[in-house]
Amino acid sequence: MHIQVKDISKIYGAGENKVVALNRATITINEGDFISIMGPSGSGKSTLLHIISGLDVPTSGQVLYGDTDIHHGNDRELSAFRRRKIGFIFQQFNLLPVLSAQENIIMPLLLDKQRPDESYLHDLTGYLGIHARLTHLPHQLSGGQKQRVAIARALIAKPDIIFADEPTGNLDSKSGGEVMEMLCGLRAKMNKTLVIITHDPHIAEMAVCRFTIVDGILSEVTAK
């Protein structure tokens, strides 16, 4: 699916407290793209990703998936669209603490009254190396395992596009490296679109298309 982000701005507060978190960001995401967005803390990275993925609304501008403006449908439609088409990976994992790893993984399907494709679930969790952890609760898992569970959850509904907001930001370099390797491997294997936010230049360089964001202004890094 072709995604066009047109002139998105996000302004918080007013008067003296006004913060321009995003300043007219424009980006086109084509099917199969692998895009990284790098920028310092507070530069608007999460705001941008939340707006592109429909988790937040822009102050002005448009996000089109094909011909559909995702911020102008009703909330139920947007939620269903997000569950089916978009996988989101958070820095803080965002697993539900009272559910097992497997229950967390299949939650997006249950919310959509769907049953998991057992062989896909088996292959996915095998690839991510978490078969032996599926009955565990999140607090019984290491950071790297939690993020691998979160990756499985992001992919369980076979979305077209994966957004990852600093997916290794809470991990040590070894488990962060493993998580990145798996994420890149799954992207290539399943031919998904991946948009990843990072402030690690090594991770940014893995992407085919690179952007930076500074003070809410997004720009493409031209090839060397």
Give the binding site for ligand ADP (CB under 6 A).
12-13, 19, 21, 39, 41-47
Q: Are 25 and 45 in contact (CB under 8 A)?
A: no
Q: Are 146 and 134 in contact (CB under 8 A)?
A: no
Under rule CB under 5 A, how many of the chain's residues touch Mg ion? 2
Q: Which does 12 bind (CB under 5 to 8 A by kind): ligand ADP, Mg ion, none?
A: ligand ADP
Q: Which are the contacts of 122, defined by CB distance < 8 A and separation ≥ 6?
A: 131
Q: Which does 190 bind (CB under 5 to 8 A by kind): ligand ADP, Mg ion, none?
A: none
| 46 binding Mg ion? (CB under 5 A) | yes
Closer residue to ligand ADP (CB): 48 or 105: 48
Closer residue to ligand ADP (CB): 13 or 129: 13
Closer residue to Mg ion (CB): 36 or 46: 46
Of all residues in this chain, which one has the CB nearest to Mg ion in the complex?
Answer: 46
Closer residue to ligand ADP (CB): 39 or 159: 39
Q: Are 64 and 8 in contact (CB under 8 A)?
A: no
Candidates 26-34, 44-52, 99-107, 172-180: pick the segment binding Mg ion (CB under 5 A): 44-52
- 114-120 CB contacts, 8 Å cutoff, 24+ apart: 114/157, 116/156, 120/156, 120/158
Residue 5 CB, shortest distance to ligand ADP, in Å, is 15
Provide the 3-class DSSP secondary structure of residue 88: strand
Residue 206 CB, shortest distance to ligand ADP, in Å, is 19
State how far the Cα of 161 lies from the Cα of 154, in Å rounded to an integer.
10
State how far the Cα of 205 lies from the Cα of 35, in Å rounded to an integer.
10
Q: Are 34 and 210 in contact (CB under 8 A)?
A: no
Closer residue to ligand ADP (CB): 39 or 176: 39
Candidates 17-25, 40-48, 111-119, 148-156: pick the segment binding Mg ion (CB under 5 A): 40-48
Residue type, 10: K
**Interface contacts to Mg ion, rule CB under 5 A:** 45-46
